[in-house]
Amino acid sequence: MVEYSSRSTGKHSSKLGLLSPEDKRSTGFEDKMSDMIAALVHASEKAAKIARACRLEESLFGLLIEEKKEGEKNKKFVTDFKTLADVLVQEVIKHDVGKQFPGIENNIFGEESNEFMNGLGEKIHVKVCETEQETAKLLSKVLDGNMKAAEVLARSAHQNIVIPDLNTGRIDIPQDRLGVWVDPIDSTFQYIKGVSDSKPNNNIYSCGLQCVTILIGVYDLHSGTPIMGVVNQPFAVQDPETQRWSGQYYWGISYGTTNVCSLGPHSKNGGVSSESNSMPAPQHLKKGSAADLEEERFSAVLSTGETVCVQTLLKEACGDNIHYAAGAGYKSLCVVLGFVDVYVFSEDTTFKWDCCSPHAILKSLGGGMADLKECLRRRQDGNREDCSELVYNVPVQDVKGADRWANKGGLVAYRSHKHLEAVLNLLSGISV
Ligand code: 2IP
Ligand code: CA
């Protein structure tokens, strides 16, 4: 099997004074939360390896791409293979993080259930077992006896991965307050399609494997606010000679007055960056003057599924600075990286697992992710001061299935409050 590498974004920044490893040892402080983010990064790297293996290992790729062929008799089964890979990643995260933080596995949530039915009508609960062999045996039952594919998957699930020290500094958060949202593969459609030669425009890929992300976000079970997150891009860069993909991951922690991120707070990363990210929200912007227009100028990334009304308003305000890209996680990452100022979505088809991790990173950079329609409603009620951020612990009432965890009011992901304000000014007339 070919080895693939991922690298962290390298640059570390913190708004805190950091404790050196020596300081930590001398204080005897149990730096649990920096271990937690390391465990999440580690789990995301393993998930990235599984995602790459499913595309690159012949025995798995065959199962994955079958889905594209219409009308095949085993279509349902191969659709389930993608689900199986998703569930396996979810279980790997539960297993690995749960081993280090016993009990947290009960508060790790995702879209899929781990219950499968195979061709023989047997009900199987997919999980990571004690040994690689046991996991392979269990997976082969779901894969109707395909031992080769089961062995490759089990090997990825049990492999040892080393990640560099993240050097987060000391963070003390009670573990029993933590819930975790996992999206094992965001932008599934791009993942299955597997386009590798898409070209970026202003650093942004509108489609292709670059839009695939693995999202792991931790939130406060009581308040619902995001606390830490990892966004892993398993197909970030392809080597033109070997065709091998390498990944990239980004992380951030925001808790109380602690804000730490793998990116500098003013990092531009070659993109159109917001120059300030901790500006107070401007009050009652008057429209019309040159200064106001300057204030309201921003760049945005949108879903191709955005409504015509919102697209038209944003196009008028942003001109050429409007981009389209696949993947809720990827679009949020474009904001994190400063390629655009905002990601706006007025529809209700993103979910808690799509947003929790990038939201935590944006928060650590002084930005956030607001509930678009709730913010607009508050303004219509005359309350321009309070913005409503997305929360992660409250389901939508009277709804079943995945839609319970939809972001009902849409969203605005932003790094700077002034850009959130500009979006809300612009969309103040849309129906909420
Ligand atoms: C999807 C995925 C889609 C996105 C949708 C998410 O998650 O990110 O790309 O739609 O909102 O729920 P769009 O690309 O139009 O933003 P998944 O791929 O996990 O189903
Ligand atoms: Ca998703």
Q: What average pLDDT is seen over the chain? A: 82
Q: What is the pLDDT of residue 313?
A: 96
CATH of the domain at 311: 3.40.190.80
CA of 182 to the centre of ligand 2 (A): 9
Q: Is residue 109 situated within a structural domain?
A: no
Average pLDDT over residues 148-175: 87
User: How many residues can be counted in the chain?
Assistant: 432
HEC assignment per residue over the chain? CCCCCEEECCCCEECCCCCCHHHHHHHCCCCHHHHHHHHHHHHHHHHHHHHHHHHHCHHHHHHHHHHHCCCCCCHHHHHHHHHHHHHHHHHHHHHHHHHHCCCHHHHEEECCCCEEECCCCCEEECCCCCCHHHHHHHHHHHCCCCHHHHHHHHHHHHCCCCCCCCCCCCCCCCHHHEEEEEEEEECHHHHHHCCCCCCCECCECCCCHHHCEEEEEEEECCCCCEEEEEEEEEEEEECCCCCCEEEEEEEEEEECCEEEECCCCCCCCCCCCCCCCCCCCCCCCCCCCHHHHHHHCCCEEECCCCCHHHHHHHHHHHHHHEEECCCHHHHHHHHHCCCCCEEEECCCCCEHHHHHHHHHHHHHCCCEEECHHHHHHHHHCCCCCCCCECCCCCCCCCCCHHHHHECCCCEEEECCHHHHHHHHHHCCCCCC
Q: What is the pLDDT of residue 157?
A: 92
CA dihedral 16, 21, 25, 28 (to 10 degrees): 30
Q: Could you read off the pLDDT of 375-431 as tens digits, one per residue?
A: 999 998 888 777 899 999 999 999 988 999 999 999 999 999 999 999 999 999 898
Q: Can you give the pTM of this predicted structure?
A: 0.85
Weakest-pLDDT range from 15-19, 37-41, 207-211, 329-333: 15-19
Active site residue 131: no
Weakest-pLDDT range from 75-79, 108-112, 358-362: 75-79
Q: Is residue 351 situated within a structural domain?
A: yes
Q: Considering every ligand atom, which ligand is closest to the CA of 187? A: 1
What total of structural domains would you count in the chain? Answer: 1
Average pLDDT over residues 165-194: 88
Q: Is residue 421 situated within a structural domain?
A: yes
Q: Is residue 115 situated within a structural domain?
A: no
Q: From the alpha carbon of 185, which atom of ligand 1 is closest? A: 19
pLDDT at 280 over 80: no
**Annotated active-site residue in 57, 111, 220, 341:** 111
pLDDT at 361 over 50: yes
pLDDT at 186 over 60: yes
Q: Is residue 177 situated within a structural domain?
A: no
Q: From the alpha carbon of 186, which atom of ligand 1 is closest? A: 19
Instruction: For ligand 1, say whether the CB of 230 is within 6 Å of any of its atoms.
Output: no
Q: Is residue 271 situated within a structural domain?
A: no
**Annotated active-site residue in 57, 112, 151, 186:** 186
Q: From the alpha carbon of 347, which atom of ligand 1 is closest? A: 11
Q: Is residue 93 situated within a structural domain?
A: no
- Supply the range of the domain harboring residue 366: 286-427
Q: Considering every ligand atom, which ligand is closest to the CA of 329? A: 1
Q: What is the pLDDT of residue 65?
A: 64
Q: Is residue 293 situated within a structural domain?
A: yes
Instruction: For ligand 1, say whether the CB of 349 is within 6 Å of any of its atoms.
Output: yes
